[in-house]
Amino acid sequence: MKNTTRSFRLVCAQDQINDVESLLHAEGFRFEPQPCFALARTLTAEPMPLGRSIAARFGYIYIQDKSSMLPPLALAPESGDRVLDFCASPGSKTGILSSLVGPTGLVLANEPSPDRLATLRVNMRHLGCYNVATCKYEGQSLPLQDDSWPRILLDAPCSGWGTVDKNPKAAQMWAGEKTAPLEILQRELLTRAAGLLAPGGRLLYSTCTTNERENEDQVRFATEHLGLVTEPLAEFPGFRFAPSLPGCLLVDGEGSLAQGFFLAALKKPGQAEKSVRATKAELPGELVSRHEFSSRTGLDTGWLPEHCFLRVGGRVYLILEQAAELPAELRWQGFAVGKSAGDSILADATLRMFVPPRPDEKSLVLEQVSTIRELLSGQSLSWAGPGKRLAFYFKGLPLGFLTIKGNRCLWSDR
């Protein structure tokens, strides 16, 4: 059995932690909690690749270096907050932001690269981050109103010197003056982020490098030229930190058994003002109320925050009320939930967000991971209940829907 210092985080509500850990334990995984974050874990035994676990298959864990978890935690948005994630892909930090702001909050995740944007959207969908809207812009030209975002995360493109354990060529690729283009880009992004930041708001600047020119020098630029001020950051337990500017954190990767990382919290002076709602965008396609969606699909989404659905281009998207307030000039995408053709709507059976939070007498509750593995391998189970779709669970943990065919039920992720 393989011993490892790899870290990951649970992707679940507080009342689901025991069931997710039970699911991992049942497959032989062992791990320890990390003091930096209630959902962070470090593997101590990995009988097979963690990414092949049932918990990973259903989006209940995300493999992530523990240093990478720090930026959203340091930004510290509250429940219901609106957060702008400037350079979001692959979504490791976006997912934590989604959890922190909760169902009534909103994360606008931007990614300029089409390929990386596709990865971001796949990951957000797999993790069930329905309060994340995505868009594709160069960060320097995001079409958003100045002074309008109370929380901004700028995890900037960087040389990656802090990841040399996984990317040994990073320091060589970005040695000496080779980082100059990155430094210019970082300042451009910082300048735009400072403009979008609301008075009294917080901007968290982070990199996975230990290069002073990309870290401390950029903070000096922000304070000397952009009118921002640094806010002290408390050291996170479970880490060692190297010397840096006052108020900034530089993770000692070797001493922390993690990647090297830099974090700086920047504040725009002034008092937070009541935000003025942007003009709503005219969304393309057909808006479908949640009641109509329920009548067409048989799925109840009443436990989600206020929402509707959008049919466009053969796809169906969940549109939260808070996302509908995004400005009209911004092109963004909601949370993809299925397909449509004619009058029919086919919701994706793999989305556990549609599964009732608690099983009832019509649900299938499984206690053995071997049974789940059999379903995932294509085997079916006997079932005598009515309907075409069956919600199934591991203990109290929603997994998805099985398809009922005759007196059998089976799993399909198509």
Active site residue 129: no
Query: Under a CB-based contact definition with an 8 Å cutoff, are residues 374 and 367 in contact?
Result: no
229-231 vs 262-267, strand pairing mode: antiparallel
Closest CA to 25 of 15, 10, 36: 10
315-320 vs 307-312, strand pairing mode: antiparallel
Residue 178: CB atoms within 10 Å: 11
Whole-angstrom Cα Rg for the chain: 22
Phi/psi class of residue 257: alpha, beta or left (left: φ > 0; alpha: ψ in -120 to 50)? left
Query: Under a CB-based contact definition with an 8 Å cutoff, are residues 263 and 204 in contact?
Result: yes
Alpha-carbon span 99 to 400, nearest angstrom = 20
Residues annotated within the binding site for S-adenosyl-L-methionine are: 111, 155
| Angle at 85 (CA atoms; ends 204, 174), nearest 5 degrees | 70
Residue among 208, 248, 308, 409 flagged as catalytic = 208
Alpha-carbon span 328 to 330, nearest angstrom = 6
Residues assigned a catalytic role: 208
